[in-house]
Structure 1
């Protein structure tokens, strides 16, 4: 057995995202270790101390560090650099120069949320985030860029210019007033699930219905936060566990003396739909009914002719309505909804691709392979490898 590598983890274990990253790190070390971990003491166990954050280890015997920078703690940044150890930083406010950083794929999260709300038929949009957090800004930019490309505008929440220690109870009144000023119905993206939960609470204060008037989607798919919201919150799921595995792989390379030649990208995987977006915001009743039929039968191998049996319009008329309202054909909507269902199964289940194909009504792998590649730009196997630890 080789040397046991000692790794210092400066991470907040109370967040589901951080725990998923830690789970990925743990999986890597179980396969390629052994590693010994050193962590922060729990807050309830901590005693007041003037020591620097790294001093209890004196970094003696430590081989590598993985840290989340929640605050711009210049003292900690200098300590990390001065330690002259392999370090990987997960920043929240800005990137830290001189060490590998963990990034989100630029604007991809906001783009996925925007496309989801566009496909629900919304024509009014809003974003609620934090102005001083780099990941929130990136999500906002991706959301706004995608919505504006589709020909619409986004109402972006501006935090009140008042003391930083403002209580949520007071800010919620400000947020409720902003929500009442929005055109309805509106599709709103919150920068993360915590913010989404607070937006739903503010909607209640403002007397607004979720999702009928304000459909809300968060990010991170923190299941506890999403399920505890007044209205269960839809969310963009992220590949945090896969990112944790790649973080550990990169740190292992650095601890072996290899240069840090790459950064780590965290990517969105799919939308987890819950009650907060369970609405079809399409004014055209015939199109709305048709879309509802398609989504209710996503697992069945339906065709356009199956849909036409449920409507009174001619196919030509319904096709024209689909192009006007959604910007694509009936067949394209069927394929889009079915491929999203397959994408969810690839990331969230252990079913083989053959089993997924069978459950979706495909006689063999050829049609699912062809359709999925056309919709997602890659094969089902490539998609699963991209978003899951192999």
Structure 2
């Protein structure tokens, strides 16, 4: 005898929501039920009902019923509006981080369209459960939805009462300053946007870091905006005149890659050589912008992908109704991606320049001060004295700086194990590299990767 039987119209109830869907009489009772993974909650309930022989269902029929009647909220997906630009590397990396979270913890239903900076579009009658957006000119319009919202900072410092994503400008500027100092430069400048709070913050942090090292700097600012061809011609002429007035050689930090690329273009107009006369570094490491520059632009890499993951994590908690102190999500820099725009050694002392070149080219190898002394061709006492005079640090401090920079790059840019990195940078094992790294950075390599590496 068949184990199937006819039953009355089944009553299907989703216990968490209390919603009910009435099926149709004649739905077949069958033992085998195949459900998508994301229907786990519903499957458990169906299984329990079957055991009591109250009903069972043909899954395809049930799915058609649910979606035909519009009662799909029994398997509720959070609906999230993403108003983040796809035209910028930072925006795309934020989106990658959000997607990584959803793949692990989702699913979510998204509203998103490709767009540029400051161009959010309303979603009509589509009402979201949460929003992640850039703080564009239409911010107030989006906040009118009155749902949990995470704001990515750009034109404003912070939006009160909201979760704000803010770049760590202090650390970004410190890394940029340390990189230019390592090139042996003694003259410095900053080029930024006067109407952007993050640019002003980076200017202040860059000046503070140089002041700690005993240097002053000059700056140039104008407002960010779409100037068009005529506007850029005027801006580039003013920028070129400023560049000509600077003492040479000079190291310049652009507030971001866009600004740094403009500096390089203005150097061409001014007849200045990059990096021999003007070394330029940006921030964001937008590979397209960096490669558009000629020579290619060095840049501070910033972990926007991790920030996107953290933003999705916080938004999910808010959508579940959890009460949080409105947190600030900091976007941390990781390291400098060096390209030709800073590939120089601005040191007149030939022996010091030779020593610096040796340290840079052997940063993956176990290195002693005596190795550098032999490469420089002078006595250790003389080399140490010249390092102090020219670079304001010792030979050993420069060796450690170069090796830590290489270890940091490998931790962030690769998935190689700490043991593999240790062996390939001249350490005897994990404990050895951990002691060396912690002495400079204040945390172990594994801790650094968890904090600043890929999600």
TM-score tier (shorter) = over 0.9
8 Å Cα contact 2:187-2:249 kept in structure 1: yes
Name which of 93, 97, 104 aligns with 2:160.
97
Deviation per CA, 1:234-287: give whole Å up to 9, x if none. 000001000000010010111011123221000110000000000011222211
User: What does residue 321 of structure 2 align with?
Assistant: 257
Q: Give distance in 1, aligned partners of 2:315 and 2:332.
A: 19
Matched, 1:363 2:428: yes
Tell which has more relative contact order, 1 or 2 (C-alpha 8 A, sep 6+): 1
CA radius of gyration, larger in: 2
Q: Give distance in 2, aligned partners of 1:163 and 1:19.
A: 21
How many residues in Structure 1 have an aligned counterpart in Structure 2?
Answer: 377
Task: Provide TM-score, normalisation by structure 2.
Answer: 0.79
Q: Give distance in 1, aligned partners of 2:367 and 2:313.
A: 43
Query: For structure 1, which segment, 234-243 or 79-88, has the greater mean C-alpha deviation from structure 2 after superposition?
Result: 79-88
Matched, 1:376 2:441: yes
Other structure's SS at 1:126 match:
strand
Name which of 326, 329, 335 aligns with 1:270.
335
Q: Which runs of 5+ in 1 are unaligned?
A: 47-51
Name which of 415, 423, 426 aligns with 1:350.
415
User: What does residue 49 of structure 1 align with?
Assistant: none
Other structure's SS at 1:129 match:
strand
User: What does residue 303 of structure 1 align with?
Assistant: 368
Q: Give distance in 1, aligned partners of 2:155 and 2:102.
A: 29
User: What does residue 124 of structure 2 align with?
Assistant: 57
8 Å Cα contact 2:249-2:276 kept in structure 1: yes
Task: Provide TM-score, normalisation by structure 1.
Answer: 0.92
Deviation per CA, 1:90-113: give whole Å up to 9, x if none. 121212222111111242111110
User: What does residue 178 of structure 1 align with?
Assistant: 242
Q: Give distance in 1, aligned partners of 2:160 and 2:139.
A: 10
8 Å Cα contact 2:163-2:328 kept in structure 1: yes
Q: Give distance in 2, aligned partners of 1:387 and 1:163.
A: 33
Q: Give distance in 1, aligned partners of 2:414 and 2:254.
A: 27
Name which of 204, 208, 220 aligns with 2:272.
208
Q: Give distance in 2, aligned partners of 1:373 and 1:331.
A: 16
Q: Give distance in 1, aligned partners of 2:267 and 2:408.
A: 32
Q: Give distance in 2, aligned partners of 1:327 and 1:66.
A: 45
Query: For structure 1, which segment, 26-35 or 137-146, has the greater mean C-alpha deviation from structure 2 after superposition?
Result: 137-146
Deviation per CA, 1:30-81: give whole Å up to 9, x if none. 10000111013658xx9xxxxx943x33352x110000024xx2xx333333
Q: 1:205 to 1:164 in 2, by over 3 A?
A: closer
Q: Give distance in 2, aligned partners of 1:389 and 1:197.
A: 26
User: What does residue 79 of structure 2 align with?
Assistant: 6
Other structure's SS at 2:233 match:
helix
Matched, 1:140 2:203: yes
Q: Give distance in 1, aligned partners of 2:412 and 2:226.
A: 42
RMSD, matched Cα: 2.0
Name which of 184, 201, 218 aligns with 1:121.
184
Matched, 1:84 2:150: no
Name which of 212, 218, 223 aligns with 1:155.
218
8 Å Cα contact 1:80-1:87 kept in structure 2: no
Query: For structure 1, which segment, 325-334 or 250-259, has the greater mean C-alpha deviation from structure 2 after superposition?
Result: 325-334
Query: For structure 1, which segment, 305-314 or 264-273, has the greater mean C-alpha deviation from structure 2 after superposition?
Result: 305-314
